[in-house]
Amino acid sequence: MRVLVTGGAGFVGSHLCERLLNDGHDVVCLDNFYTGRRENVAGFAASGRFELVEHDVEQPISLPVEQVYHLACPASPVHYQADPVRTLRTNVIGTLNMLELARQNNARLVLASTSEVYGDPEVHPQPERYRGNVNPHGIRACYDEGKRAAESATMDYHRQYGLSVGIARIFNTYGPRMAFEDGRVVSNFLVQAMAGKPLTVYGDGSQTRSFCYVTDLVDGLVRLMARGGFTGPVNLGNDGEFTIRQLAELVTRKYGGAQIVEEPLPADDPTRRKPDITLARAELGWSPTVALEQGLEATAADFRSRFAAGEGR
């Protein structure tokens, strides 16, 4: 198969490209390097089956491909809030363009949506039928509402044009190749610990998240692509739930760090988040396999070697 991965030079996208290459596919990685890095995909050219296309999804493009994974979008709050209008354009116009590309090729498209479509959830854990509690005027709305619009567009292409689609609602994912400076909690804590600095807990740290190791997530995306006829939306995430303070304590215990300090909680920061993964288990035969401590160990090893090579200093 010739498979397109938009956002393929990013954190999740690069792991997906690697998995697809290992599965024997030809991979086209489309990225504008807004938050992605060339180093993430530097090793893939040696396969002879990897092509890099520098392109912004806000512009239409025609490429011959048989499957499309659409991941292009800044994912961390720091990045998607830096230029919120651009984030909205990427999600809405970019997704319409990639749907059109898929339609031209009669290719199945899997959309990387997000648990953020549930906003600050009033239902816990979150099943796919829950319609969410998003603040449409808030600082996260460019991303949350952008992804909700991307889901709408994806379902409209399915209903109106018969396009085969799958929608994955991805919960917090971590692992090697996360950008040091992208502001997400796992990367922040590991970088802070390795630099011997205080770990910054926002608010009192009682808010919860569920952390999925990246190879587990990638396996879920691949299973969703393989399950033609199933649109979802389907939650992909680890259903272990941790407070942010618990995560900080785990990281300081294992990897150091000066102490834990509290900083102001950002606006609209969801209070609790944990996926109900009943649907993914039933429809995709998928469930996460990597426990948090084990995944952190692999992530820390990657961070340590990048740190030693001078990154982040």
List contacts with ligand NAD (CB under 6 A): 7, 9-13, 31-36, 56-58, 71-75, 90, 94, 112, 114, 170, 172-173
Cβ nearer to ligand NAD, comparing 242 with 261: 242
Work out whether 207 is an interface residue with ligand UDP (CB under 6 A): yes
Would you state the structure tokens that stand for residue 128, as one six-digit string? 């796919």
Burial class, 228, CB count within 10 angstroms (exposed 0-12 / middle 13-18 / buried 19+): exposed
DSSP state of 35: S
| Apex 249 CA angle, 248 and 255, nearest 5 | 85
Q: Are 216 and 239 in contact (CB under 8 A)?
A: no
With contacts defined by CB under 6 A, how many residues of the chain interact with ligand UDP? 15
The answer to whether residues 141 and 134 touch, using CB atoms and an 8 Å cutoff, is: yes
Q: Among residues 163 and 260, whose Cβ is nearest to ligand UDP?
A: 260
Beta-carbon-side half-sphere exposure of residue 160 (alpha carbons within 13 Å)? 9
User: How far apart (Å, rounded) are the C-alpha atoms in residues 149 and 145?
Assistant: 6
- Looking at beta carbons only, is 167 or 185 nearer to ligand UDP? 185
Question: Min. distance of Cβ 32 from ligand NAD in angstroms?
Answer: 4
Q: How far is the CB of 253 from ligand NAD (least distance, A)?
A: 23
Minimum CB–partner distance for residue 37 and ligand NAD (Å): 7
Catalytic annotation present for 143: yes
Site string for ligand UDP, 159-178 (x = CB under 6 A): -------------x------
Kindly tell me which of 95 and 114 has the beta carbon lying closer to ligand UDP. Answer: 114
CA-to-CA separations, 191 to 85, 168, 195, 213, 304, in angstroms, rounded? 29, 29, 6, 18, 9
Taking CB under 6 A as the criterion, which residues in 221-280 touch ligand UDP? 244, 266, 269
Per CB under 6 A, residues contacting ligand UDP are 76-77, 172, 183-185, 188, 200-202, 207, 209, 244, 266, 269
Annotated catalytic residues are 143
